[in-house]
């Protein structure tokens, strides 16, 4: 079975979406009310539920090719999305860099845009390494001095595939809904912002300012809250609701390569090449790096599994898990015997399938490798008597 990013999975499944039911706004996808799902979320979930109810009948409806649009806003645009042969392909989780076209180039029309795109791709390395030389060549070639804006899209990545029971999925959804309610209640000022924008968190990812912001937060701070609310609660709830439908209807959805080709996807030129390293060797090499760094511990990729190992001549034990880093707490460095560090917030799933949020140290040498809302290896050091634990996160991604 080919693999695609979560974004492109949704792109494929959106081909299922026809006219939503008349009561889509009142429709509840779960046994408990979920207040933060908007009209589009519910429409997509309802269609996914129908697909799980009868996947053989419905799968034919997604054969219509995905329309590739070119808005003539960016250098890299109008390209077919990719599907991947292996789940560990680095391009499934790597960020995508793009560049906005200069406004004066756009004003000259399609031919100028095509010419500029070709020229920029030939000079992209110069732009990255010697922007002064790039700017001089730009002015010589096109007679403009306007700079180009780099845009870094965080890839939605791939998710470790788990074989969860219906009860385990329900426990995770219930945990997310409980935590979302606690997050809402914790701060009266934040309540107003969430209540107003919880079904419109997409505005936090737009470049323009939020025009009707009367929450008392700056645009930057409001967007930070909405991004956090979306990433911690909305996105994972939608993900596990899909897993819930699949488990409830015992639906094994698989989309083969032929279907991806018919949908205008293209093979990933990286992981479909003859020289690509397959999963077993890739994972073994990654574990070797971690063992060389931290010692002879277990490094499970799946959540909820903790392999604790006692430290000799102490009352402590250590385990390594992957945690998602989602917020920086301190602006100033603190110090201990291991060096300078800052405090961050992390999220992980415990052995009871509940989402927990803890504080972690990240040392100065690792901070530049950390991107918010991505998973990294984290050491749990626990006192066996008091059960008190400390967390340290390192710049090694999943």
pLDDT digit string (tens) for the chain, length 398 residues = 455 555 565 556 555 445 556 678 888 999 999 999 998 889 888 878 887 887 655 555 544 556 677 778 888 776 677 777 766 666 665 556 778 888 888 888 888 888 888 888 888 887 777 878 888 888 888 888 776 676 665 554 445 678 889 999 999 999 999 999 999 999 999 999 999 999 999 999 888 899 889 999 999 999 999 999 999 999 999 999 999 998 998 766 655 666 666 666 777 777 777 777 655 566 778 888 999 999 999 998 888 899 999 998 899 999 999 999 999 999 899 999 999 999 999 999 999 999 999 999 999 999 999 989 999 999 999 999 999 999 999 999 86
Q: At 389, phi and psi to the nearest 5?
A: -125, 150
Crossing angle for the helix pair 39-53 and 235-248, to the nearest 10 degrees: 20
Q: For residue 228, give the 3-state DSSP assignment.
A: helix
Token digits of residue 23 = 């009561």
Burial of 336 (0-12, 13-18, 19+ CB in 10 A): exposed
Instruction: Quote the DSSP letter at residue 74.
Output: B
Q: What is the pTM of this model?
A: 0.75
pLDDT at 273: 78
Strand 309-310 with 150-153, pairing: unpaired
Token digits of residue 299 = 């490094």
Question: Structural domain boundaries of the chain?
Answer: 6-73+165-267, 101-148, 279-397
- How distant, in Å, are the alpha carbons of 10, 29, 65, 152, 242 from that of 96? 18, 33, 23, 6, 26
* Chain centre distance of CA 332: 27
> How would you label 229-265 residue by residue, b for 16+ Cβ within 10 Å and e otherwise?
bbbbbbbbbbbbbbbbbbbebebebebeeebbeebeb
Q: For residue 336, give the 3-state DSSP assignment.
A: strand
């Amino acid at each position: 079975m080919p693999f695609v990013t979560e974004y492109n999975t949704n792109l494929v499944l959106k081909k299922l979406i026809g006219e939503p039911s008349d009561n889509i706004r009142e429709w509840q996808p779960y046994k408990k009310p979920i207040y933060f799902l908007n009209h589009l979320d519910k429409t997509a979930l309802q269609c996914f539920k129908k697909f799980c109810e009868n996947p053989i009948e419905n799968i034919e409806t997604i054969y219509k090719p995905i329309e590739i649009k070119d808005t003539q806003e960016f250098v890299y645009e109008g390209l077919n999305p990719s599907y991947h042969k292996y789940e560990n392909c680095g391009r499934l989780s790597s960020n995508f860099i793009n560049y906005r076209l200069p406004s004066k180039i756009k004003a000259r029309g399609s031919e100028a845009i095509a010419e500029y795109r070709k020229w920029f791709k030939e000079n992209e390395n110069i732009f990255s390494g010697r922007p002064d030389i790039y700017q001089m060549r730009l002015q010589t070639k096109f007679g403009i001095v306007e700079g180009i804006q780099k845009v870094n899209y965080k890839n939605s990545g791939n998710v470790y595939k788990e074989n969860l029971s219906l009860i385990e999925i329900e426990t995770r959804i219930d945990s997310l809904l409980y935590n979302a309610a606690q997050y809402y209640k914790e701060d009266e000022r934040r309540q107003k912002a969430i209540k107003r924008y919880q079904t419109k968190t997409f505005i936090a990812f737009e470049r323009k300012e939020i025009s009707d912001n009367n929450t008392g937060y700056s645009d930057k701070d409001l967007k930070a809250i909405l991004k956090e609310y979306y990433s911690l609660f909305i996105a994972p709830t939608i993900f596990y609701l899909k897993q819930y439908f699949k488990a409830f209807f015992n639906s094994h959805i698989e989309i083969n390569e032929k279907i991806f080709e018919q949908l205008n996807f293209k093979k990933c030129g990286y992981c479909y090449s003859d020289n690509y390293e397959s999963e077993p060797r890739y994972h073994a090499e990654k574990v070797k790096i971690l063992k060389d760094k931290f010692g002879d511990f277990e490094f499970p990729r799946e959540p909820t599994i903790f392999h604790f190992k006692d430290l000799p001549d102490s009352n402590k034990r250590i385990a390594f898990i992957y945690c998602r880093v989602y917020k920086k707490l301190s602006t100033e460095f603190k110090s201990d015997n291991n060096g300078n560090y800052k405090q961050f917030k992390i999220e992980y799933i415990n052995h009871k399938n509940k989402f927990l949020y803890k504080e972690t140290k990240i040392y100065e040498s690792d901070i530049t490798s950390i991107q918010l809302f991505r998973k990294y290896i984290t050491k749990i050091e626990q006192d066996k008597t008091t059960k008190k634990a400390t967390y340290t996160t390192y710049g090694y991604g999943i």
